């Protein structure tokens, strides 16, 4: 694959989402999942449910995914040739678990401003490493909601996977679209698109990695410190703290880089919140 078609890009801009986009075959996705599950077993302290942000800064196989041309070429079709990556999240729902994601807009809490360039400056790529269906709690989106900013309130609900359990009030779910993906397929969503996901009611893990977000040069920090990984093209704006991809698994410098990026990310995501959770 080398980028998206004009029809795919037009669909993304009109509706705020695009899926499915083929990235790799199911056997390759299973191999990546195998690497992830081996890493989870070997390094549980570095990849447990409350420590799933920015694992690409400590595990080379995840950094390679973030830099994978098949994903980045598609992202480039939306954000242009100068790209950096703000963060990654491993969204893992265990079999039969209650974890869910409430309706929210990512950009509401990111502490970034993309000004007039918003439609073309940021995109989240969500890569499925296992089957993502309505039953296993795939990402659901509310088409067209990317053109406005919705009010959110914090719930800190027990099984809500989001930091603050942030939720858009009064959502009309009747138009929701489930972004069902085979392993190795990805979806794209706009930073202002309202989306969420239900619990996993299947006997299998639902595993996805969100590259959140690939950013073009139009994005500026508004508050807090922001660590970004250069992906391709021109260097990121000097207001961002530039980080490097890890050269080997969990090197002391990679662990330290991930820790500082996560501390800064947490400060941004919990800015103004009445309390903090451990993730
Ligand atoms: O993986 C999920 O269930 C939710 C993902 C999500 O909210 C996101 O990628 O922004």
State the helix-helix crossing angle for 6-15 and 69-79, rounded to 10 degrees. Answer: 60
> Which pLDDT belongs to residue 269?
86
Statement: residue 260 has pLDDT above 70: yes
Per-residue pLDDT tens digits for 135-149: 999 999 999 999 988
Instruction: Provide the pLDDT for residue 98.
Output: 94
137 C-alpha to ligand 1 centroid (Å): 10
**Phi (first) and psi of residue 2, to 5 degrees:** -130, 85
- Ranges assigned E (strand) in 77-194: 83-85, 88-93, 101-104, 112-113, 122-128, 139-141, 152-153, 167-168, 177-178, 185-189
- In this predicted structure, the answer to whether residue 117 has a pLDDT above a threshold of 70 is no
Atom of ligand 1 nearest to the CA of 210: 9
DSSP state of 235: P
Residue-wise pLDDT for 191-244, tens only, equals: 999 999 999 999 999 999 999 999 999 899 998 999 999 999 999 999 999 999
Q: What is the CA radius of gyration of the chain?
A: 17
Q: How far, in Å, from the CA of 194 to the mean position of ligand 1?
A: 11
pTM equals 0.96
Answer yes or no: is pLDDT of 170 > 90.
Answer: no
- Which DSSP state fits 248? S
Arithmetic mean of pLDDT, 146-164? 88
Ligand 1 centroid to 139 CA: how many Å? 6
pLDDT of residue 163: 84
Tell me which of 101, 163, 265 to substitute to probe ligand 1's pocket, judged by most ligand atoms within 8 Å of the beta carbon: 101
By most ligand atoms within 8 Å of CB, the mutation choice from 54, 86, 126 for ligand 1 is 126
The residue nearest atom 1 of ligand 1, judged by CA position, is: 91
The atom of ligand 1 lying closest to the CA of 104 is: 7
Res. 246: pLDDT tops 80: yes
- Write out the E strands in the chain: 17-22, 83-85, 88-93, 101-104, 112-113, 122-128, 139-141, 152-153, 167-168, 177-178, 185-189, 195-197, 206-215, 220-221, 227-232, 241-242
Q: Are 23 and 59 in contact (CB under 8 A)?
A: no
Higher pLDDT, 104 or 277: 104
Give the three-state DSSP class for 133. Answer: coil
Q: What is the pLDDT of residue 93?
A: 97
Q: At 122, list the tokens.
A: 């940021």
Residue 205 is predicted with a pLDDT of 98
Per-residue model confidence (pLDDT) at position 116 = 57
pLDDT at 125: 98
How many C-beta atoms surround the C-beta of residue 263 within 10 A? 12
Cα 85–Cα 89–Cα 93 angle in degrees, nearest 5: 155
pLDDT at 143: 97
**Which domains are assigned to the chain?**
6-269 (2.60.120.620)
Please give the residue that has the higher pLDDT: either 148 or 80.
Answer: 80
**How many other CB atoms sit within 10 Å of the CB of residue 28?**
12
pLDDT of 38 reads 98
Ligand 1 pocket at CB < 6 A: 91, 101, 106, 124, 126, 137, 139, 195, 197, 208, 210, 212
pLDDT recorded at residue 113: 85
Distance 99 CA to ligand 1 centre (A): 11
Q: How confident is the model at residue 120 (pLDDT cuts 50, 70, 90)?
A: confident
pLDDT category at 270 given cuts 50, 70, 90 is confident
pLDDT-based confidence at residue 167 (cuts at 50, 70, 90)? confident
CA-nearest residue, atom 7 of ligand 1: 196
> What is residue 50's predicted lDDT score, i.e. its pLDDT?
86
Residue 268 CA, ligand 1 centroid: distance in Å: 18
172-206 per-position pLDDT tens digit: 999 999 999 999 999 999 999 999 999 999 999 99
């Amino acid at each position: 694959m080398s980028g998206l078609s004009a029809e795919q890009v037009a669909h993304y801009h009109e509706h705020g989402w695009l899926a499915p986009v083929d990235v790799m075959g199911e056997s390759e996705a299973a191999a990546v999942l195998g690497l992830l599950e081996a890493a989870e077993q070997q390094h549980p302290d570095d990849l447990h449910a409350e420590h799933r942000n920015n694992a690409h800064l400590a595990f080379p196989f995840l950094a390679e995914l973030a830099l994978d041309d098949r994903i980045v070429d598609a992202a480039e079709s939306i954000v242009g040739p100068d790209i950096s990556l703000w963060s990654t999240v491993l969204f893992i729902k265990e079999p039969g678990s209650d974890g869910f994601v409430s309706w929210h807009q990512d950009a509401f809490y990111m502490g970034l401003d993309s000004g007039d360039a918003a439609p073309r400056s940021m995109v989240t790529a969500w890569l499925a490493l296992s089957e993502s269906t309505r039953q296993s709690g795939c990402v659901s989106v509310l088409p067209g909601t990317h053109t406005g900013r919705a009010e959110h309130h914090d719930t800190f609900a027990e099984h809500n996977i989001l930091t603050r359990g942030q939720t858009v009030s009064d959502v009309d779910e009747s138009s929701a679209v489930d972004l069902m993906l085979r392993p190795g397929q990805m979806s794209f969503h706009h930073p202002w698109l309202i989306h969420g996901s239900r619990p996993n009611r299947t006997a299998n893990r639902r595993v996805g990695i969100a590259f959140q977000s690939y950013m073009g040069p139009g994005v500026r920090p508004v508050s807090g410190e922001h660590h970004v990984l250069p992906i391709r093209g021109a260097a990121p704006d000097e207001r961002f703290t530039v980080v490097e991809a890890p050269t080997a698994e969990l090197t002391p410098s990679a662990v330290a880089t991930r820790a500082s990026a996560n501390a800064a990310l947490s400060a941004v995501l919990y800015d103004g919140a009445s309390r903090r959770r451990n993730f």
